[in-house]
Amino acid sequence: MFYVPRDECFSEVKQLTFSAKTVYSVFHAVIPALQTAIVDKDLGFPYFTAIDQLFNEGVDLPPQEGNNMWREILPRLLKAISDSDNALRFEIPDTMERDKFFWFRDEEFARQTLSGINPYALQLVTEWPLKSKLDPAIYGPPESVITKEMVEQQIRGFCSLEEALEQKKLFVLDYHDLLLPYVKKVRQLPGTTLYGSRTLFFLNPDETLRPLAIELTRPPMDGKPLWKEAYRPSWHSSGVWLWRLAKAHVLAHDSGYHQLISHWLRTHCCTEPYIIATNRQLSEMHPIYRLLHPHFRYTMEINALARAYLINADGIIETSFSPGKYSMEICSVAYDLLWRFDHEALPADLISRGMAVEDPDAPHGLRLTIKDYPFASDGLVLWDILKEWVSDYVNHYYPEASLVESDEELQAWWTEIRTVGHGDKKDEPWWPVLKTPQDLIQIVTTITWVTSGHHASVNFGQYTYAGYFPSRPTIARKNMPTEEATERDWEFFMSKPEVLLLLCFPSQIQATTVMAILDVLSNHSPDEEYLGEKSELAWAKDPVIQAAFEKFNGRLMELEGIIDERNANKDLRNRNGAGIVPYEFLKPFSEPGVTGKGVPYSISI
């Protein structure tokens, strides 16, 4: 097991409440029981109604000693069974409850890049053709096979390709260069496959996105030449099913990127150096220690659990997600290629992806490239609220720059974060300096955003959007039928395309294991501490800080109303429409349970 200092461990209340107790129980009891109930680990779902049965009839689990054991472990998933029943019956996610076919629709596929659980990956296309940065001597010609003609066929009547680029209307999910070096390795693992992928979108006049093309690439390998093909929405049955299969591959890539990079790497993992440096370099009486302390609650403990059961060798991620045993390696590569502290601030992240530009006349000083971008729109309000609170706090204790520069504890804290916590990046030129109150405000706001808004936006909607796994399969198990298929393979696709899609989806054990885990990870504990809800004792003793905190709380309550108003606005089509789940991931407060809203101070689940 991983050592966690006693003052970082779950409180007794936390240990006895749903979140902590259930996490342990799911790993130690439910998953082994599922593995017993589903003997064939490669067995897929024979038809879509068999997937629906997970929510209606459930999975029969072996009997356990003690009455009501399963219901004590998973009260939400087992609340409707009889005393003699041992079926694990999943709750219907809100998305599926509103629209049973939500996962099937192209517009929903596109909408989730802005409003789903991974809003951190979409980026603006600034150059054409799309090109790889990988070595062409190893991976083949860098140019994408998505051509100008393909794009203009899809957007005919709107504009030309050149106009679309100039008007900032083309966007891409680009997992090509990150995944392509792992295609050969992953394909050597049993029961899975991998491609490099690019997915191109066009911004419609109503601010919704239209998927234009998906490119899947296999590098030269095993004596075979480079293979890559572009798929487009079609009005012919064969093209329709190839498009659906290509989407399944892209969604598996996006699920892996979300879990490994947007979620684990950028929140859980990269918060640890802040916690360690804060405890080592700042005394408990230090004002910045007091400000940051609520943002670090339980993170080391939940990370220890993750290392023991989720990201460990042969753990949930390695056995159920596309990169397989290379998951942590890809995570490390992504850290090396992509992570930089200054871009962890929400405004800088949006600018770096071309999703916003600086504009002093626009709200928050940024003009969004896509005006109806729910994550960014709500996130920027929350960022400003956080920054105002941090500014009021810091300016009270550090009214002059000389106080920041002469604070030895504070300087040692920032030095350790840069040179020890991120020692391999200590010489990067993008690290902020710490000389003025404004420097300190930006650094602390960035840290508090990562632990609160960033984490909430990628965590608490997991069961809502991925609880019905065809919406976000975590793994793709079959190659595209157009990739060197035999005549027999092609005949199977032509006669039973639905079966091929089901075979591509996760197996029964992979799907049900991930569903059970996501239900737990999407859950708010009864003792959750939400942003601005309750003042720390040290803050309440200082009338200036207490007044600033009350203003902080008031603005967060205003944000609740702002989000409700936006969700009711029929013109905001990425958060309002028939069957669409309102975007509430950044609503500050929540009741316990799987609610799809609520922003805790810290990464506590």
Enumerate the active-site residues: 263, 268, 455, 459, 605
Cα separations (Å) of 36 from 73, 444, 494? 17, 48, 35
Helices 497-504/237-257 angle, 10° precision: 10
Q: Which residues are paired to 593 by β-bridges?
A: 524
**209 touches 202 (CB < 8 A):** yes
Burial 444-480 (b: 16+ CB within 10 A, else e): bbbbbbbbbbbbbbbbbbbbbbbbbbbbbbbbbbbbb
Q: H helices within 188-261, ranges in order?
A: 237-257
- Alpha-carbon distance 79 to 435, whole Å? 56
Nearest to 262 by CA among 180, 165, 338, 363: 338
Beta carbons within 8 Å of 109's beta carbon, 6+ residues apart: 211, 247, 251
Nearest to 195 by CA among 252, 240, 237: 252
- Alpha-carbon distance 128 to 130, whole Å? 5
Amino acid at position 87, single letter: A
- Alpha-carbon distance 507 to 500, whole Å? 13
Residue count of the chain: 605
Strand (E) or helix (H) holding 52: helix 48-56
Token duo for residue 74: 């998973």
Burial 560-585 (b: 16+ CB within 10 A, else e): eebbeebbeeeebbbbbeeebbbbbb
**62 touches 36 (CB < 8 A):** yes
The residue assigned the tokens 């929140």 is 267
Token duo for residue 406: 């002469």
Please return the burial class of 67, using the count of CB atoms within 10 Å of its CB with bins 0-12, 13-18 and 19+: exposed
Beta pairing, strands 87-88 & 196-203 = unpaired
Q: Which residues are paired to 227 by β-bridges?
A: 218
Beta pairing, strands 59-60 & 87-88 = antiparallel
Reduce the DSSP state of residue 197 to 3 states and report it. Answer: strand
Nearest to 203 by CA among 241, 247, 172, 244: 172
